[in-house]
Amino acid sequence: MLFAASATVSEDVVKMKTSGGELRTKQVTGTNSSMTIATRTPGYHSQPHFHDCEQINFVTRGEIWVFVEYQAFVLRKGDFLRIPPSAMHWAWNQSSDEDVELIEMHTPGLLLDGVSPVALVEESETPGTPVPSGWGSTDLWAREQDAMAKAKTQ
């Protein structure tokens, strides 16, 4: 199957380690990648994590802070961000009342706990093996204020 109507791709809640909010996704996979429509609710603050796949984000709605190693980026509608493979990263939707939505591409595809992706592959093709996430320490949250202050001055 090379096509999936939106109604056939379920929206699932990712079993993600957070201090607040939730991550809801619709995910499709190919032979070497995955694409996710990811909605992070107000207060969403993920635990630092990494995965052995490149991630490219595009914001379609809202505003979110994304932390990559020692850097902070505030992303708004229309912005792009690349996260290199294995880079420790996490996100924080500081809004009290607005969801943020991103389109995320992962190469190779990303395994999301609690999500049932739709495979967009032909019968003759072999779906790729998704890559799991590993978790970092919440001690990394201590970097946020300094990284955000530095990002605001650039």
Domain ranges of the chain: 9-152
Both tokens assigned to 90: 């996490």
**The pTM is what?**
0.93
Question: 89-109, pLDDT tens digit by residue?
Answer: 999 999 999 999 999 999 999
Question: 27-66, pLDDT tens digit by residue?
Answer: 999 999 999 999 999 999 999 999 999 999 999 999 999 9
For the domain covering 9-152, report its CATH number: 2.60.120.10
Give the helix/strand (H/E) hosting 25. Answer: strand 23-29
Of 137, 104, 138, 140, whose CA–CA distance to 29 is shortest?
Answer: 104
| Contact present, 30 and 3 (Cβ < 8 Å) | no
What 3-state class would DSSP assign to 131?
Answer: strand
